[in-house]
Amino acid sequence: MDEKFKSPYNPQETEPRIYAKWERSGYFNPDTCVEKGVTAKDAEAYSIVLPPPNVTGRLHMGHALMLALEDIFVRFNRMRGKKTLWLPGTDHAAIATQSVVEKQIKKDEGKNRHDLGREELLKRIEQFAHESHDTIVGQVKTMGASLDWSREAFTLDEKRSRAVRAVFKRMYDAGLIYRGNRIVNWDPKGQTTISDDEIVYEERPAKLYTFRYSKDFPIPVATTRPETKVGDVAVAVHPDDARYKAFVGKEFDAVFCDVPIHIKVVADKEVDPAFGTGAVGVTPAHSQTDWDIADRHQLDNQNVVINEYAKMTVPGRLNGLKTTDAREKVVEWLSQENLLEKEEDIKQNISTAERTGGIIEPLPKLQWWVDVNKEVPGRGKSLKVLMKEAVESGAIKIIPDYFEKTYFHWIDNLRDWCISRQIWYGHRIPVWYQGEEIVVGEAPASEGWTQDEDTLDTWFSSGIWTFSTLGWPEATSDFKTYHPTALLETGHDILFFWVARMILMTEFALGTVPFKTVYLHGLVRDAQGRKMSKSLGNNLDPLDIAAKFGADAARMALVVGNTPGTDLRISEDKIKGYKLFANKLWNIARFILENAAAQSAAAEFTGDDAALRAAFDALLADVTCDIEEFRVYLAAEKLYHYAWHELADKILEESKPIFAGADENARASRARLLLSLLDSLLRALHPFMPFVTEEIWPSLPTKDAELLMVARWPSVK
């Protein structure tokens, strides 16, 4: 028996050494596996691209869960002889990364981006992103992730940038990308547009004001934003509301808080008769809902009364005021004019920007858009229809399947996608101007052209991640071999941010799906079910956890009891429990190697030993099926209970008198049984606890591979 078993298992010493050993072997690269003969040249391909972590800092336990789950699927398929590629990378996360750096510069130097200039700011951001990348890679390796680092990508590197420009041009040429003046979610704090999915709704106390535009205006309206009413062009009522039928189609003039307004009464089915008075002022330039009403009724939608800094732009007493101050002035004016009929305290969902916390101000802006409703040339269907059919047809399977309903609902309500951002970090819009001429895609060779100042939404570049990482637009061997990818594993909270957009982009660019299965995990919460955050002081850092308990323990704690799509509670006590399990596995191996390795192998099992082996074979069949069917939580739990409560507590205890007895055949049979059980158990546990199993593996007399990571998945004996 190896001398190492005389000491307790030490994950802190073992895990870095084992990971370095894996890296030296080259087996993370499927090409090396083929070259060294551990994978057949014509083997079935299996691929996953890592959801690229944002280069904004350190990873959290949600990332650790993602890495654990994906590594389980990757190691399982590699051991089953598939040509397995897990491709790593990071995301430049434009708004988030620029926001972090700008805040730090403001704190340290009291300067903003305009003080520094574009070139200097980008230099600072790139330095930060590089340092953050190195931290992230270190964390990923600490968790044992068997990624092919030779293929590492970055959403902003040259290869990915070339792919972004190629897709943009193709979509533009197909008439699916256009520049238009439409209402956007404007973040006054970050001074950029953001997508619908980047809005965070916060419930706050508010007031609902009921008023009339003038003393002779016949309909009272209700609003929480009276300051916007200087931009109203209509009042909308439900067509079946008997109270207002006589007024539909009529027009009125008024002077509202010093501002002349012209109001038309329209009937619209989207109006809720039960809200307020059942009549709503329509401010198309400052509400997406009102923009849609104006579109349906051909109303003026460009009456902008609030600017990019959330300040009023109308003449009179409101000019230049912040919207919150203007609200007070309008309410004061309504009271003085006896037009204010009622004030009510209510709760209201306020739209805020996820990254800056700024309150969103809907504004019409000239932006770049992807048309999701226009027919895709050559496909006869819109992007929305193609996205829906990809899942409806079964080409993509979503786990758990109840998220399909959520996915379809989101697509049904999907608007044209605003892809331009008013920030400096990211993929610059690949459009160049010279007078009335424009060039799209690649920069013109001649001088005198000016590139668009805006950058692309980060999700545009990450939306092509599955194929840009494999070398597209070139027809590389990687692209031919590994696309579509087998699996996308990610958090359910980015189903719309990322998963849906990947389907959209891939359906357009390739006419196929980006992946065959989507596995959605839930959020990782603390032991009390609270979301982990710095403010609550309940964050668990994966590096700290690995240093304290070992990565194997963290992985098992994250996987056991974690069903797809549901949130997981985690605590140090749970992780500690699986550290004890790693020690138990070490002690199981020590006992078996001490007592069984020196015994001669029997030609046949005794009846009892044959039954024990058959029982474990049945368990292996269940575990294999569980992993294939994405029930990894069950597979991990079954192996844990077998190792601890069946093998250690029962079989090893029953083996002690057998080894001490005089029956040579019984001893040999039991020795063969225990060695075969340990061999198979290590193989089956390896995807879940790769470090401790790999450390034990070289000591087995039955081993048939240089490293456990490329040994074959256990077969039924």
**What pLDDT score was predicted for residue 62?**
86
Report if residue 554 sits inside a domain: no
Strands of the 83-87 sheet, one edge to the other: 83-87, 45-49, 485-491, 515-521, 397-399
Report if residue 612 sits inside a domain: yes
Distance (Å, whole) CA 245 – CA 267? 8
Instruction: Give per-residue pLDDT as tens, 529-539.
Output: 887 666 666 67
| CATH code of 665's domain | 1.10.730.20
DSSP codes of every residue in 350-390: EEEETTT-PBPEEEEEEEEEE-SSSBPTTTSSBHHHHHHHH
Contact 210, 510 (CB under 8 A): no
**What pLDDT score was predicted for residue 533?**
65
For residues 19-28, give the mean pLDDT. Answer: 98
**What pLDDT score was predicted for residue 602?**
65
Q: Residue 265: which of 234, 296, 293 has the closest Cα?
A: 234
Instruction: Give per-residue pLDDT as tens, 644-661.
Output: 999 999 999 999 999 999
**What pLDDT score was predicted for residue 315?**
93
Distance (Å, whole) CA 376 – CA 171? 9
Same structural domain, 129 and 213: no
SS3 state of residue 298 = coil
Q: Residue 655: which of 699, 705, 709, 599 has the closest Cα?
A: 599
Instruction: Give per-residue pLDDT as tens, 271-286.
Output: 999 989 999 999 999 9
**What are the C-alpha distances in Å from 17 to residues 12, 13, 62, 507, 694?**
9, 7, 25, 43, 11
Same structural domain, 226 and 337: yes
Distance (Å, whole) CA 117 – CA 381? 44
- Helix/strand/coil (H/E/C) assignment for every residue in 550-586: CHHHHHHHHHCCCCCCCCEECCHHHHHHHHHHHHHHH
Report if residue 180 sits inside a domain: no
Residue 540 has pLDDT above 80, yes or no: no
Same structural domain, 146 and 202: no
Instruction: Give per-residue pLDDT as tens, 308-320.
Output: 999 999 999 999 9
| CATH code of 497's domain | 3.40.50.620
Q: What residue type is 95 in one-letter code?
A: I
| CATH code of 267's domain | 3.90.740.10
**What pLDDT score was predicted for residue 374?**
97
**What pLDDT score was predicted for residue 587?**
97
Which helix (H) or strand (E) element contains residue 193?
strand 192-194
For residues 241-270, give the mean pLDDT. Answer: 96
The rounded Cα 497 to chain-centroid distance in angstroms is 7
Report if residue 650 sits inside a domain: yes
Looking at 362, 390, 422, the residue that finishes a domain is 362
For residues 496-502, give the mean pLDDT. Answer: 93
Instruction: Give per-residue pLDDT as tens, 663-674.
Output: 888 999 999 999
Report if residue 473 sits inside a domain: yes
Q: Residue 573: which of 555, 549, 550, 541 has the closest Cα?
A: 549
**What are the C-alpha distances in Å from 498 to residues 58, 157, 406?**
21, 19, 14
Tokens of 567: 């949130």
The rounded Cα 282 to chain-centroid distance in angstroms is 36
Report if residue 417 sits inside a domain: no
Instruction: Give per-residue pLDDT as tens, 347-369.
Output: 999 999 988 889 999 999 999 99
Q: Which residues, 6+ apart, have CB-to-CB distance to 473 below 8 Å?
A: 162, 163, 166
209 beta partners: 223, 343
Same structural domain, 40 and 139: yes
Average pLDDT, the chain: 94
Number of domains in the chain: 3
Contact 49, 465 (CB under 8 A): yes
Same structural domain, 109 and 241: no
Strands of the 417-418 sheet, one edge to the other: 192-194, 177-187, 361-370, 417-418
Q: Worst-scoring range by mean pLDDT, 155-159, 329-333, 369-373, 597-601? A: 597-601
Same structural domain, 580 and 528: no
**What pLDDT score was predicted for residue 59?**
83
For residues 19-46, give the mean pLDDT. Answer: 97
Residue 525 has pLDDT above 90, yes or no: no
57 pLDDT band (50/70/90 cuts)?
confident
Between CA 220 and CA 227, with CA 225 as vertex, the angle to 5 degrees is 95
717 pLDDT band (50/70/90 cuts)?
low
**What pLDDT score was predicted for residue 387?**
97
Same structural domain, 643 and 685: yes
Looking at 338, 362, 386, the residue that finishes a domain is 362
Same structural domain, 489 and 577: no
Task: Calculate the CA dihedral of residues 65, 71, 72, 76 and round it to 10 degrees.
Answer: 170
Same structural domain, 145 and 249: no
**What pLDDT score was predicted for residue 409?**
94
DSSP 600: P
Same structural domain, 487 and 582: no
Same structural domain, 160 and 203: no
Contact 685, 693 (CB under 8 A): yes
Distance (Å, whole) CA 471 – CA 166? 12
Same structural domain, 213 and 344: yes
Residue 150 has pLDDT above 80, yes or no: yes
Range of the domain at 597: 570-710
Distance (Å, whole) CA 29 – CA 633? 27
For residues 526-550, give the mean pLDDT. Answer: 78
Looking at 362, 394, 420, the residue that finishes a domain is 362
Percent of the chain with pLDDT over 90: 86
For residues 670-695, give the mean pLDDT. Answer: 97
Instruction: Give per-residue pLDDT as tens, 447-482.
Output: 999 999 999 999 999 999 999 999 999 999 999 999
- Highest mean pLDDT out of 354-358, 381-385, 561-565: 381-385
Report if residue 140 sits inside a domain: yes
Report if residue 392 sits inside a domain: no
600 pLDDT band (50/70/90 cuts)?
low
**What pLDDT score was predicted for residue 221?**
96
